[in-house]
Amino acid sequence: MINVRLRKIFRTNDAPFSLDVDFSIRGKTAVLFGPSGSGKSLTLHCLAGLVRPDGGSIRLKERILYDNTVFIPARHRRIGYMFQDYALFPHLNVLQNVAYARSGFFARHPRRDDRETAMLERFGIGHLSRRMPGQLSGGQRQRVALARALNADPELLLLDEPFSALDTLLRERLRRELRDLFATLTIPVIIITHDPEDVDIFAADIILYGAGNARPVPDYQEIRAGFASAGDCLRRLQETAVMPESS
Binding residues vs other proteins (CB under 8 A): 45, 48-50, 73-81, 83-85, 87, 89-91, 100-101, 105-107, 132, 134, 148-149, 152
- Closer residue to other proteins, CB minimum distance, 56 or 80: 80
CA 234 remoteness from chain centre: 20
Polymer length in residues for the chain: 247
- Closer residue to other proteins, CB minimum distance, 101 or 170: 101
- Closer residue to other proteins, CB minimum distance, 103 or 193: 103
Q: How far is the CB of 237 from other proteins (least distance, A)?
A: 30
Parallel, antiparallel, or unpaired: how do β-strands 63-66 and 55-60 relate?
A: antiparallel
Q: How far is the CB of 116 from other proteins (least distance, A)?
A: 14
CB 68 within 8 A of CB 52: no
Q: How far is the CB of 76 from other proteins (least distance, A)?
A: 8
Name the residue among 48, 64, 59, 56 with its Cα closest to residue 18.
Answer: 56
Please give the Cα distance from 53 to 90 (Å, whole number): 30
Q: How far is the CB of 181 from other proteins (least distance, A)?
A: 18
- Closer residue to other proteins, CB minimum distance, 132 or 211: 132
Q: Virtual CA dihedral for 126, 129, 130, 135, nearest 10 degrees?
A: 100
Give Cα separations from 19 to 14, 65, 85 (angstroms): 16, 18, 23
Q: How many CB atoms lie within 10 A of CB 62?
A: 6
- Closer residue to other proteins, CB minimum distance, 54 or 245: 54
Q: How far is the CB of 74 from other proteins (least distance, A)?
A: 4
